Amino acid sequence: MEKFIVKGKTALSGSVKISGSKNSAVALLPASVMTSETVCLENLPDITDVRTMIEILENLGVSIRRRGRDSLELTPGSISKIAPSYELVKKMRASYYFMGSLLARFGRAEVPIPGGCDLGPRPIDQHLKGFTALGADINIEHGMIKLTAQKLTGARVYLDVVSIGATINLMLAAAAAEGRTILENVAKEPEIVDLSNFLNAMGASVRGAGTDVIRIDGVKKFKGAVHTVIPDRIEAGTFMMAAAATRGRVTVEDVIPKHLEAITAKIREIGAKVEVDPEKITVDGTAPLVSSDLKTFPYPGFPTDLQPPGMVLLTAAEGLSVITENVFDGRYNHVNELKRMGARIKVEGRTALIEGGMPLTGAPVAAPDLRSGAALIIAALTADGESQISAVDHVDRGYDNFEGKLTGLGASIYRTADESYDRQSGKVD
């Protein structure tokens, strides 16, 4: 296990290039098994979740060739298994996308139930309801979800809750179902549109991604394709929050500003200046920051993944702010750690009250999950003195070279061994 040592009171300054989207990459990689031809994915982020996904694919029998730092060529013609390895799958929740993609290609899939959970309950009832509607039989035995379908048939599925995971899994299965599927009340995130573009490049017929109704006409065969992963809007948003919270000036480059509108608007409301150019956004946090209310919602609302960094920003803003977490029940794991740094935060159910403007002080803290880890690092950059952030493997799962990029913006952050921290097992994001 490793930890970060961060020196505080650093105003970030400069430009940072944003990597490819984690949440797109972890859907596109499992989708690649739907063809037996060669697929090329470009702009993949170099993060642990992508490496784990690559291991799962290799273990299934996919032949993989690296093309430069961020591109891969995958040839799934020789897949020999329909059951991804439990040891690998338990490391990341998104491995459940193999339910949809293996079912589409082979009519069978055996995938372990996604493991422990840091964000409160994360049921998969909507995924299973949709697979059943498409004609799959589902048996849950010994911790495995076993799906079989003689034939997948198009159906109309209305999601009871807007779920990114269920939308993706059902798009994958429906792409190979006979006839038309209508998915209603689906997620509208840019990652859904990215997957739709990739599936269509492989020969699928998916229409309406990015709206709340997706129409899919199933096809029998998928072909090889070349696809570039969209920029990571959550990574970009994290740096934008960090720029404002540290009272610095940072340009995030290689972004799609449209994907960042809710974040841009909120940062402006808090008092930072934001300049938007076609492929870059500059945040200037040198003016006084004022309190604000922040409510998380599915896209195009303010993303739940940026609620922890958003809380740190509100800690730096003068006055009382209110956060309402509407997407996950238990996404306040960072609060106790922030309190150790002197933050004044009170949580009541889904609401957090933040008394901002109190200076934070450096402290030893532990990253409870991916986005909380990023938030604690931002808090450490704003704090007086040095902080130690343990359990950095959470951060490595989703941020490509986070400390390198922060160092490039003038931060003092380095990684060192951490013998003292005994990580709880089975936590995934």
Residues that bind ligand EPU (CB under 6 A): 22-23, 26, 94, 121-127, 161, 163-166, 187, 303-305, 327-328, 370-371, 398, 429
Q: Which two tokens stand for residue 425?
A: 């097992």
237 and 23 in contact (C-beta within 8 Å)?
Answer: no
For the chain, the distance separating the N- and C-terminal CA atoms, rounded to the nearest angstrom, is: 18
- Cis peptide bond N-terminal to 84, omega within 30: no
To the nearest whole angstrom, how small is the minimum distance from the Cβ of residue 247 to ligand EPU? Answer: 26
Smallest separation (angstroms) from ligand EPU to the CB of 373: 10
The least CB distance from residue 312 to ligand EPU, in Å, is 15
Return the amino acid letter for 415: R
Q: How far is CA 143 from CA 56, 111, 117, 149, 371, in A?
A: 18, 9, 15, 20, 28
Write down the least CB distance from residue 99 to ligand EPU, Å.
Answer: 12
Cα-only R_g, the chain: 21
Q: Quickly count helices (H) and strands (E) in the chain.
A: 14, 23
Shortest reach from residue 223's CB to ligand EPU, in Å: 26
| Residue placing its CB nearer to ligand EPU in the complex, 161 or 358 | 161
Going by C-beta distance under 8 Å and a sequence separation of 6 or more, which residues neighbour residue 127? Answer: 96, 99, 100, 163, 165, 166, 169, 170
φ, ψ of residue 327 in degrees (nearest 5)? -95, -50
Of the two residues 291 and 399, which places its CB atom closer to ligand EPU in the complex?
Answer: 399
Q: Which residue number places its CB atom closest to ligand EPU?
A: 165
Cβ proximity to ligand EPU, 51 vs 122, nearer residue: 122
Residue with Cβ nearer ligand EPU (73 or 261):
261
The Cα 325–Cα 298 span in angstroms is: 11
Single-letter amino acid code for the residue at 58: E
φ/ψ of residue 419, rounded to 5:
-80, -25
Active site residues: 117
Residue 202 DSSP label: T
Q: Which is nearer to ligand EPU, 11 or 27 (CB)?
A: 27
Smaller CB distance to ligand EPU: residue 43 or 126?
126
* Shortest spacing between CB 77 and ligand EPU, in angstroms: 26
